[in-house]
């Protein structure tokens, strides 16, 4: 069994000081890779309440999305999350910058920046990517 708890670097302020801390990005989530036959074993671990569900089944996160989360956290501090229902609008691929070659859907265009949905458990990790750093993906159905 493999596990991964993405940690977000945040700065907390107190009256007399400020300090950089690592906090879980997804509150109360730990990602695990295991065969379906071991799901019951995980639920018996002290402190585990349940699995996150997506569309009625335990959520399965693609390995590429785990890598995107790792890369995103390596490049950005104080990452924000928004819960979303994933809508398929227009697919894009990042062609420059730290998220190069990652794909997502355009969420907004504002002040020469785009927010890109990187689908994982119905969340959006928020970072701004300049418009010139993405290219539109032409799907085979659109060409035909």
Residue 15, pLDDT > 50, answer: yes
- Output the pLDDT for position 86: 46
For residue range 25-62, list pLDDT tens digits in order.
Answer: 888 889 999 888 998 999 899 989 888 887 788 888 88
- Output the pLDDT for position 87: 47
The pLDDT confidence band at residue 124, using thresholds 50, 70 and 90, is low
> Among residues of the chain, what percentage have pLDDT more than 70?
61
How far is 120 from 59, CA to CA, in rounded Å? Answer: 9
How far is 142 from 26, CA to CA, in rounded Å? Answer: 36
- Output the pLDDT for position 52: 84
Among 16-30, 46-60, 86-100, 122-136, name the one with the lowest average pLDDT.
Answer: 86-100
How far is 31 from 60, CA to CA, in rounded Å? Answer: 9
Domains, the chain, with CATH or none: 2-143 (2.30.30.30)
Q: What is the pTM of this model?
A: 0.60
How far is 73 from 116, CA to CA, in rounded Å? Answer: 15
């Amino acid at each position: 069994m493999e596990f991964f708890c993405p940690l977000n670097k945040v700065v907390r302020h107190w009256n007399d000081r400020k300090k950089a801390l690592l906090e879980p990005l997804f509150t109360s989530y730990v990602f695990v890779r295991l065969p379906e036959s071991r799901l019951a074993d995980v639920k018996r671990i002290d402190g585990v309440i349940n699995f996150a569900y997506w569309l009625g089944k335990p959520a399965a996160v693609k390995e590429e999305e785990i890598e995107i989360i790792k890369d995103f956290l390596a490049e950005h501090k104080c990452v924000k999350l928004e819960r979303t229902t994933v809508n398929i609008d227009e697919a894009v691929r990042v062609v420059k910058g730290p998220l190069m070659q990652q794909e997502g859907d355009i969420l907004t265009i504002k002040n020469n920046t785009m927010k890109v949905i990187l689908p994982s458990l119905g969340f959006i990790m928020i970072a701004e990517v300049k418009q010139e750093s993405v290219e539109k993906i032409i799907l085979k159905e659109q060409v035909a």
